[in-house]
């Protein structure tokens, strides 16, 4: 399951490559031949300026025009499926935002909902360079609670219209548009947000002006876009930077950032310095669950701490190993599920009995649907709400094998009966039957030969 989830997240959430060690396992330097023969030299002020210009466009693109995630609706799974003994449907929609750009989204909900009924919904907001397909990695956790799931492509991402993103500045308006559509046209009642990276920033900035949001799960939000850009260029306290980001000295960082901000405003139409979710946190009064990874060099852990400290509502902070795009551990997914159950006030009776892994956590939805297609999902259901132990799984496999053998024996018996019936229905004519009976009638024993007498 972790490999399957990893392939999904790696596809729709590109991972920053790790920096290679400067020494090999034998302690020798790993530079290329050209680097070994070329002596190192110091960069003067003109060299640094050239370095800034060289990385200028790349940094602007990283902020407002990252690679667009490519996918099709087939990557979202079937539009109708059965999960946990309940029929579900996926409704794909296209809704215009404030700027007139079409936003493409999908709503996973139960098929048996009556018209006019209200139901709770979790809105998943994807990260930078990603799309709504990222929501399939957490769909099982949400649907198993008894809630609906909604996700959409921000403007400039995935299948939605738009040429640029704003890392939360305009994305908060997209969140507002989609929440309004869910409540007006889809019948959604309570709404909670689950955001990651850019999606978490958008959640905070929208929650500051929409107190009706029931709760927030905020995975790796940045406190200030200006601060993130400065740290990307200058590095953190240990000088560690994501691969490909130029190393610019401190006395040029401010000037370089002003250049980047000017270009961002002229191209994408927003002020980089005003994208500060930490300023919105004091007016957020709903509960929130924060999460951050220890080894995140893209959005460093102290960003989540800054927003956490300024957040006005009830809050909790979860930390774990990994980097910005690592798979999140199971205990965090469990915490998010409990959090949504409480803030959305979902009764325990609404929970579904779904296939689980060895630790009792719901298997990824896409994996379950694939197993159902192969006819193997039923073997994973345990007798107690899906918590199948290893012994129970072995017993279920043995019962399935016995059932298969029994069906094979029944088929063989049916085939034998059909053959006998076909033979009995095609009897031979009477004369043939008579000859056959004569041939099979008992014959008298042969007469004894005459005894030999004296010769004449």
Q: Where in 294-420 does DSSP place strands (E)?
A: 315-320
Q: Please check the confidence at residue 256 and state whether its pLDDT lies above 60.
A: yes
Q: Please check the confidence at residue 202 and state whether its pLDDT lies above 70.
A: yes
Instruction: Give per-residue pLDDT as tens, 298-329.
Output: 999 999 999 999 999 999 999 999 999 999 99
% of the chain exceeding 70 in pLDDT = 66
pLDDT given at position 30: 39
Q: Residues 107-111: what's their mean pLDDT?
A: 97
Higher-pLDDT residue of 256 and 8 is: 256
% of the chain exceeding 90 in pLDDT = 57
Q: How far apart are CA 279 and CA 41, in angstroms?
A: 43
Report helix angle 225-234 to 250-268, nearest 10.
130
Which burial class, exposed, middle or buried, applies to 252 when counting CB atoms under 10 A from its CB (0-12, 13-18, 19+)? Answer: middle
Q: Please check the confidence at residue 178 and state whether its pLDDT lies above 50.
A: yes
pLDDT given at position 14: 41
Q: Residues 201-226: what's their mean pLDDT?
A: 97
Helix (H) / strand (E) element for 384: namely: none
pLDDT given at position 373: 79
DSSP 97-129: -TTSPEEEEEEEEETTPPTT--EEEEEEE--TT
* Confidence at 68, pLDDT banded by 50, 70, 90: very high
> Are residues 151 and 124 in contact, defined by beta-carbon separation less than 8 angstroms?
yes
> Are residues 82 and 88 in contact, defined by beta-carbon separation less than 8 angstroms?
yes
- Backbone phi and psi for residue 105, each to the nearest 5 degrees, phi listed first: -140, 170
Q: Compute the half-sphere exposure of residue 270: CA atoms within 13 Å on the CB side of its CA.
A: 20
* Confidence at 452, pLDDT banded by 50, 70, 90: very low
Alpha-carbon Rg of the chain, whole angstroms?
A: 34
Task: Point out the least confidently predicted range of 191-200, 218-227, 241-250, 438-447.
Answer: 438-447
Instruction: Give per-residue pLDDT as tens, 9-65.
Output: 344 444 444 444 334 333 333 333 444 434 334 444 344 445 455 567 777 888 899
What mean pLDDT, rounded, does the chain reach? 79
Residue 356 DSSP code: B
Residue 297 DSSP code: S
pLDDT given at position 59: 77
Query: Quick one: tokens of 330?
Result: 């199971």
Closest among 153, 151, 25, 168 to 91, alpha carbons compared: 151
> Are residues 171 and 116 in contact, defined by beta-carbon separation less than 8 angstroms?
no
> Are residues 322 and 242 in contact, defined by beta-carbon separation less than 8 angstroms?
no
DSSP 138-150: THHHHHHHT-EEE
Q: Residues 269-279: what's their mean pLDDT?
A: 96
Q: Residues 251-277: what's their mean pLDDT?
A: 88
Assign 417 to helix, strand or coil. helix
pLDDT given at position 435: 46
Residue 380 DSSP code: G
Q: Please check the confidence at residue 422 and state whether its pLDDT lies above 60.
A: no
Q: How far apart are CA 368 and CA 389, in angstroms?
A: 17
Q: Count the helices and strands in the chain (H runs, E runs).
A: 14, 9
Q: Residues 142-165: what's their mean pLDDT?
A: 97
pLDDT given at position 364: 92
Q: How far apart are CA 216 and CA 199, in angstroms?
A: 11
Instruction: Give per-residue pLDDT as tens, 319-368.
Output: 999 999 999 999 999 999 999 999 999 999 999 999 998 889 999 999 99
pLDDT given at position 377: 43
Instruction: Give per-residue pLDDT as tens, 433-442.
Output: 454 445 444 5
């Amino acid at each position: 399951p972790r490999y399957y989830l990893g392939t999904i997240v790696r596809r729709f959430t590109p991972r920053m490559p790790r920096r290679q060690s400067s020494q090999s396992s034998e302690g020798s330097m790993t530079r290329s031949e050209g680097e070994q023969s070329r002596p190192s030299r110091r960069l003067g002020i003109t060299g640094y300026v050239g370095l800034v210009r060289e990385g200028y466009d790349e940094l602007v693109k990283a902020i407002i025009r990252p690679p667009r995630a490519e996918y099709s609706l087939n990557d979202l799974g079937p539009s109708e499926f059965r999960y946990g003994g309940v029929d579900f449907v996926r409704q794909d929609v296209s809704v215009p935002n404030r700027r007139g750009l079409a936003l493409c989204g999908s709503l996973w909900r139960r098929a048996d909902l009556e018209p006019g009924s209200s139901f709770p919904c979790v809105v998943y907001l994807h990260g930078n360079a990603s799309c709504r397909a990222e929501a399939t990695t957490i769909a099982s956790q949400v649907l198993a609670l008894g809630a609906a799931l909604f996700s959409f492509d921000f403007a400039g991402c995935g299948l939605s219209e738009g040429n640029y993103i704003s890392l939360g500045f305009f994305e908060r308006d997209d969140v507002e548009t989609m929440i309004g559509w869910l409540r007006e046209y889809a019948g959604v009642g309570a709404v909670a947000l689950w955001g990651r990276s850019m999606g978490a920033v958008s959640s905070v900035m929208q929650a500051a002006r929409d107190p009706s949001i029931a709760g927030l799960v905020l995975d790796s939000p940045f406190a200030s876009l200006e601060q993130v850009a400065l740290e990307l260029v200058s590095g953190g306290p240990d000088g560690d930077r994501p691969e490909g980001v130029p190393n610019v000295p401190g006395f040029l960082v401010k000037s370089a950032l002003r250049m980047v901000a000017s270009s961002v405003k002229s191209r994408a139409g927003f002020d980089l310095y005003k994208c500060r979710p930490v300023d919105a946190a004091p007016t957020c009064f709903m509960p929130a669950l924060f999460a951050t990874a220890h080894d995140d060099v893209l959005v460093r852990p102290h960003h989540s701490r800054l927003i956490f400290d300024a957040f006005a509502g009830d809050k909790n902070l979860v930390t774990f190993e990994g980097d910005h795009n690592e798979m999140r551990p199971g205990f965090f997914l469990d915490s998010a599920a409990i959090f949504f159950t409480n803030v959305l006030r979902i009764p325990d009776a609404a929970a579904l009995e779904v296939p689980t892994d060895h630790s009792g956590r719901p298997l990824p939805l896409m994996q379950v649907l694939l197993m159902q297609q192969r006819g193997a999902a039923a073997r994973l259901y345990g007798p107690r709400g899906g918590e199948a132990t290893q012994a129970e799984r072995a017993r279920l496999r043995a019962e399935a094998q016995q059932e298969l053998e029994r069906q094979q024996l029944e088929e063989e018996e049916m085939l034998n009966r059909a053959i006998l019936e076909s033979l009995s229905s095609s009897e031979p004519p009477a004369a043939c039957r008579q000859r056959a009976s004569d041939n099979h009638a008992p014959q008298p024993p042969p007469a004894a030969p005459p005894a030999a007498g004296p010769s004449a």
